[in-house]
Amino acid sequence: MPPGLCPLSGPDAPSPASGPQRAGGDLAASVSPGIAERWKGDSTVNDSTHLPVLARRIVELFTPVCADRDAVLVDATVGLGGHADALLTAFPRLRLIAVDRDPDALARSRERLAGHGDRVEFAHAVYDRIPEVLAERGLSTVDALLFDLGVSSMQLDRPERGFAYARDAPLDMRMDPTTGITAAEVLNTYPPAELIRVLREYGEERFAQRITRAVVAERERAPFERSERLVKLLYDAVPAASRRTGGHPAKRTFQALRIEVNGELEVLRRALPAALDALAVGGRIVVEAYHSLEDRMVKRAFAELAKSRTPEGLPVELPGHGPQLRLLTRGAELAGADEIEHNPRASSVRLRAAERIGEAT
């Protein structure tokens, strides 16, 4: 049996075209009428601060494993609960475990999801601890896993958290403000070589050396504390030509600092294999990533488990060497133009989904 994708048919079949695909369309056209009637998309607009990205597509992808059955789904980054609300509304028998590292997000999602009663359980944890969260509830596997990576709407919209460069705020950027170092500490204490590494690897910033020189000189005058001072430094450090064509000069540095402060890529690197091991055979995982570094890690993790490990040339699949995943998307799916118009934060999303078809070995 050749390695690669298992055949697909029906609404989950990936497009034959290569590259990113636009997700979207009418939910009623892709899932059963009962599911479409229970969830018409209203829950995406209940909270003006949070429009969950690609909520319709996510409901569609989870329908085969969550509809009309007692399924368990882990929302590993529940945030303000937009996706969770949509899923709980669409699937009345679903049990959802809502995980987030941000205690403020958990409090807000607890309020939003209160109407679903004891079908929701909450866990204050980073998503690489999913096996522990499940073990505490007497579970070893689940039917569905959802990851909505990156910074949440609430974190961006609350200036005191320091994630957004558009408003002056303390340079914090911790997703869990109860633990860890702040962005100010990174700027004020990291050696120049480490700052350059962070900006290059996590922000893909081509002016990392120039920015670092400016940061080091400025922090000798006074430590960094607030974002306005950093934004001004970045504006002056980035060449004018790049400012005209490369977006806001602070965007890449703020992304890099946030990823470093929260260890996002290291957490994701640990979380993906742990999550896939916790997925029951027949279960599904959906991941939404918002920059290329995250998406590349998800792509590689999925692709590795979607391959056969039987040596080439053998006429039959060796037992225990078949693919463990079936890819439900070919490439990454993007948000459609209509969704981006109503929710600009959807513009950078890359959605990938897979189904477990074999046991881990």
The percentage of the chain sitting over the pLDDT mark of 70, rounded to a whole number, equals 76
Strand partners, 226: 170
Strand partners, 147: 287
Q: What would the two tokens of residue 324 be?
A: 């463990």
Instruction: Please report, as a single letter, which amino acid is at residue 217.
Output: A
Question: Please, what is the Cα angle at 20 between 19 and 23, to 5 degrees?
Answer: 145
Say whether pLDDT at 186 is over 90.
Answer: yes
CB atoms within 10 A of CB 322: 18
Q: Regarding beta strands 279-289 and 325-327, do their DSSP bridges make them parallel or antiparallel, or are they unpaired?
A: unpaired
Say whether pLDDT at 334 is over 80.
Answer: yes
What pLDDT shows up at residue 77? 94
Torsion angle defined by CA atoms of residues 40, 45, 51 and 55, in that order, rounded to the nearest 10 degrees:
-10
Instruction: Please report, as a single letter, which amino acid is at residue 261.
Output: V
SS3 of the chain: helix, strand, coil, percent, to 5: 45, 15, 40
User: How crowded is the C-beta side of 154, counted as CA atoms within 13 Å?
Assistant: 19
Phi first, then psi, for residue 291 (nearest 5°) are: -150, 165
Q: Classify burial at 275, counting beta carbons within 10 Å of its beta carbon; exposed 0-12, middle 13-18, buried 19 or more.
A: buried
317, 1 in Cβ contact below 8 A? yes
358 annotated as ligand-binding: no
Which of 11-15, 147-151, 330-334 is predicted with the least confidence, judged by mean pLDDT? Answer: 11-15
Phi first, then psi, for residue 96 (nearest 5°) are: -120, 130
Residues whose CB is less than 8 angstroms from the CB of residue 37 and which lie 6 or more positions away in sequence, other chains included? none
290, 296 in Cβ contact below 8 A? no
121, 98 in Cβ contact below 8 A? yes
What pLDDT shows up at residue 33? 45
pLDDT tens across 269-293, in order? Answer: 999 999 999 999 999 999 999 988 9
124 annotated as ligand-binding: no
Q: What would the two tokens of residue 51 be?
A: 């429009």
Taken in order of first residue, the domains within the chain and their CATH numbers are 10-154+265-356 (3.40.50.150), 164-264 (1.10.150.170)
Rounded Cα distance, 276 and 359, in Å = 10
Say whether pLDDT at 309 is over 90.
Answer: no
Q: Which residues of 13-43 are buried (b: 16+ CB within 10 A; e: fewer)?
A: ebeeeeebbebbeebeebbeeebbebbeeeb
4 annotated as ligand-binding: no
Count of helices and strands (H, E) across the chain: 15, 9
In this prediction, residues 74-84 reach a mean pLDDT of 95
209 annotated as ligand-binding: no
Say whether pLDDT at 28 is over 70.
Answer: no
321 annotated as ligand-binding: no
Q: What would the two tokens of residue 156 be?
A: 């961006």
Rounded Cα distance, 189 and 215, in Å = 11
Q: Which residues of 162-182 are buried (b: 16+ CB within 10 A; e: fewer)?
A: bbbbeeebebbbbbbbeeebb
248 annotated as ligand-binding: no
State the pLDDT confidence band at 177, using cuts at 50, 70 and 90: confident
92, 69 in Cβ contact below 8 A? no
In this prediction, residues 20-44 reach a mean pLDDT of 47
247 annotated as ligand-binding: no
